[in-house]
Chain A
């Protein structure tokens, strides 16, 4: 762990990503304690008010302006981040669990199981993921649960591919061979001996997936298939504000920036994490 932080501080990009991500996560976690205006209620008379920095801490201040029904954009951004991060991380974890399990199964068992699972992955990779997500959400109806399920569905294949490749080499290693020789069951080998060894690559895939899933979640919301109004979500804010793009730039600029910064921080941190865990780049340092 000491090495972890020392190495992180050496990488400018990694550190930047980690700090930014930490700020975003903390803001999301502690949003209810920040005494922000209600993100779902607006004052119609104060709609499309521009950002004002004077009297920042007075009750009626809108540091990032208000949207088309007079709701505070800062508050919507922060509360929207809760939804985005919750949806994205649940989907990534869910996809990760399924993908890792199926990856281990395919890699360890081999044969028919392997072939069926990998062809499934091939088939799903052949379908544009966005199209698949649109189809499923449009058919099942927009709701948070459906969005999480769909995003997890688009996510498991990447884990499965990478984990399987790892397992293929792991299962020939001595400790697996010896576990098998003393009569350990398949399940025991898969979960006690192989799983701990693939957690690191799974974590790296997870961070990179997180960035992709955040964008996809925003895209679904943008198309009106995600969280329903008035619950704030970044993609929806972009969609609703774009009508006023030329006269009220703040309605789309800030949600857009929020998406960019979040994805950027996750990507920078994820990239660094991959390098950190990769023995080749690590030994070079």
Chain B
């Protein structure tokens, strides 16, 4: 047989087998390429962790309804304030036969808590003081202070095989211990997964192929969905949803996400240290207009706090600052702030859903009360460098933050005095956070966070805007439960047939 005819024959064979299997394939479009294959090397839920969660097991999984479901751990409980006890699925292994037992978990926790070689996610485990292996299927995690959000945090923590990691580089290679394994990876373009035959659990891989494709352009992503090239997309502008849904080729919609978008003040630079001025800017912004006009009513206006109702510690009693330009002008006058110079307004581009539009709309509303701004757009990476490394954030900037454990403990810590992310130093707020973190008693914690959110609302270290809608579109070849916490996973989907 000549080479050519062999090629043709194999192509024909491939087609013959591929056609019936077609419905069992799924393609997920991502907005940017994954950066690493090391599950401890990224904290990006919507990107790297979503892909890797198909390959590496976690102790606990968060379902689309945000409940915590057993995965490798079948049971977990708080023994006391400082101890969590876990029971593991017996007989679980990685694809290469390495056991997935208590020792493996202990090794993984040791890997991320190693002070000498910190990983990207080490901060999640700063309160973990040690692991107690009781038997191959039982172990305890000890914490130095009460850590009620630990199970939720563990839903983002994936396990590597210790022996394999010793002589392989997990940044570029993978060894499956969960539903899928990598069959094809072209960095920057796509990664294709196939079922892991050696998977130990009761779940079943629903698809023969799961492909993550990188499509950065919004318009191209929508076009790919409509053309049937991909089955799931996110970050769709809200006014495109109806068009996609009406096309009959795909479904689109939005749910509230856990990400709050706000204008962050750098209160370390004047005039942002002036409380009256900060409050004035809150009064100056018409949040409802932004939610209604820019997001077609799909965004929910924040109630004077950065948490959404899905968070533990959400304060249901707070009301948003009313839109009152007259009051804003009055407060600005009282604050005595000099408005002759424009204030820089930093905008990370292509980062938040319609963020460019929100920034320009807010800048216009500020202008209406006499506050001139100077918009400076920059890449998200550049913005993060200013925010995190250089600690030199502009006096105003557009920022959206969420905390995947959905606990006040995590999200509010981003505003805690002394935290590099904070840019706001409020003692009273700090005291409440310490109180809320110091116990696992839910009632006491709620009380502390209630006070903390009240302080934050009054002190206004940000202009509270809205909870970013999590918009999505999926093809009619799959069934999908939309979720607002960034995870994009094939095992949350099923084939429609």
Chain A contact residues, CB within 8 Å of chain B: 40-42, 44-45, 47-48, 68-70, 141-142, 224, 228-230, 240, 242-247
Contacts and interface: CB of A to CB of B under 8 A. Distances in A.
B237 interface: yes
A48 B377 CA distance: 22
B423 to A, nearest CB: 21
Interface of B: 217-219, 222-223, 237, 239-240, 243, 289-290, 293-294, 349, 354, 356-357, 359-361, 363-364, 367, 374-378
B312 to A, nearest CB: 34
30 contacts: A41-B364, A42-B361, A44-B289, A47-B293, A47-B294, A68-B354, A68-B357, A69-B294, A69-B357, A69-B361, A69-B364, A142-B376, A142-B377, A224-B349, A228-B375, A229-B356, A229-B360, A230-B364, A230-B375, A240-B356, A242-B217, A243-B237, A244-B219, A244-B237, A244-B239, A245-B219, A246-B222, A246-B223, A246-B240, A247-B239
B375 A229 contact: yes
B295 to A, nearest CB: 11
Contact of A69 (B360, B376, B377, B378): B360
Contacts of B240: 244, 246-247
Q: Which 5 A/B pairs are nearest by Cβ-Cβ distance?
A: A44-B293, A245-B219, A243-B218, A224-B377, A69-B360
A40 B373 CA distance: 13
Given A228-B377, A243-B219, 19 more contacts: A40-B364, A41-B367, A42-B361, A47-B293, A68-B354, A68-B356, A69-B360, A142-B376, A142-B377, A224-B349, A224-B378, A228-B376, A230-B364, A240-B357, A242-B219, A246-B219, A247-B239, A247-B240, A247-B243
B127 to A, nearest CB: 40
Nearest to B349: A224
Contacts of A244: 219, 237, 239-240
Contacts of B218: 242-243
A229 B359 CA distance: 9
A220 B344 CA distance: 21
B375 A45 contact: no
Contact of A229 (B223, B354, B377): B377
Contacts of A246: 219, 222-223, 240, 243
A40 B372 CA distance: 13
Contacts of B289: 44-45
A45 B219 contact: no
A127 B367 CA distance: 42
Nearest to A38: B364
Nearest to A46: B293
A283 B152 CA distance: 84
Contacts of B360: 42, 69, 229-230
A244 B241 CA distance: 12
Contacts of A40: 364
Contacts of B378: 224
Nearest to B236: A243
Contacts of B375: 228-230
A70 B378 CA distance: 23
A44 B237 CA distance: 15
Contacts of A228: 374-377
Contacts of B359: 229
A230 B358 CA distance: 12
Contacts of B290: 44
Contact of A42 (B222, B239, B349, B364): B364
Nearest to A245: B219
Nearest to B373: A230
Contacts of A44: 289-290, 293-294, 361
Nearest to B364: A41
A228 B342 CA distance: 14
Contacts of B361: 42, 44, 69
Contacts of B374: 228
A212 B215 CA distance: 30
A282 to B, nearest CB: 49
Nearest to A48: B239
B62 to A, nearest CB: 30
Nearest to A44: B293
Contacts of A42: 360-361, 364
Contacts of B354: 68
Nearest to B289: A44
Nearest to A231: B375
Residue of A47, A68, A141 ringed by the most chain B CB atoms within 10 A = A68
Nearest to A42: B364
B239 A230 contact: no
Residue of B293, B359, B376 ringed by the most chain A CB atoms within 10 A = B293
Given A44-B289, A240-B356, A246-B240, A230 B363 contact: yes
A70 B239 CA distance: 14
